[in-house]
Amino acid sequence: MNLAIVKYNAGNIQSVLFALERLGVDAKVTDDKEELFAADKVIFPGVGAARSAMDSLKEKGLDVVIKQLKQPVLGICVGMQLLFEHSEESDTECLGIIPAKVRLFRPPLGDGGKVPQVGWNDIYNLKTNLFKDVPEHSYIYYVHSYYAEMNPYCIATSNYGLEYASAVQKDNFYGVQFHTEKSAKVGDMILKNFLDL
């Protein structure tokens, strides 16, 4: 399989590479337009701030490239948030692939929830083959202060003082808010399901 990981300044790229290695899969880390178009699948990772991530994509022309990709694309964490129209983080215009917004968790969240959400939480209302053989209410690992509002493209839900979209899919674009690469067996299963799409 020809698997590409988008190279830009907001990547949690090394931990994604380690997770793929556990699955016996090699990936090419690239910001080359032709290599991204030629890949069978593309992973779009991200940690850090939405604004600087978008600036990096624009600087490399990757904002245009990502929107044109026709193969399965998986956004992880900030990579998922950038698929949306807008993020409240630094009032950032994002890629606009998912017509919905990313918002800041605002206390009080109930149960003493703090911002950011750090640690394990469950996912439910699982849809599509991305969650094939993943049991409802499986636990995955989060680190985030911003969340995707509920929207028609939601394929998994979590609750942290309010319900939000923990995974989305529109056409060939998939996104997960949680860190698959830090979510033990469940995370590996979701990554494998993406590779099998």
112-121 pLDDT per residue, tens? 789 999 999 9
The residue from 77, 89, 144, 154 that is catalytic is: 77
pLDDT confidence tier of residue 69, bands split at 50, 70 and 90: very high
Q: Considering just the CA atoms, what is the radius of gyration of the chain in Å?
A: 15
Architecture of domain 3-196: 3-Layer(aba) Sandwich (3.40)
21 is catalytic: no
**145, two tokens:** 């202060």
The pTM of the full predicted model, rounded to 2 decimals, is 0.96
Query: In the chain, what is the straight-line distance between the N-terminal and C-terminal CA atoms, in Å?
Result: 12
Q: What angle do CA 153, 136, 147 make, to 5 degrees?
A: 45
181 is catalytic: yes
Greater model confidence, 148 or 12: 148
Q: Are strands 146-148 and 138-144 parallel, antiparallel or unpaired?
A: unpaired
Tell me the C-alpha distance between 45 and 51, whole Å.
Answer: 15
Looking at the predicted structure, is the pLDDT value of residue 111 above 80? no
86 is catalytic: no
Bridge partners (DSSP) listed for residue 3: 41
**What's the pLDDT score for residue 10?**
75
Percent of the chain with pLDDT over 70: 99
Output the average pLDDT for the chain.
95
Tell me the C-alpha distance between 20 and 143, whole Å.
Answer: 20
The residue from 89, 94, 144, 181 that is catalytic is: 181
For the segment 164-178, what is each residue's pLDDT rounded down to a tens digit?
999 999 999 999 999
Q: Are 25 and 193 in contact (CB under 8 A)?
A: no
**What's the pLDDT score for residue 9?**
86
Average pLDDT over residues 69-88: 97
Q: Are 169 and 158 in contact (CB under 8 A)?
A: no
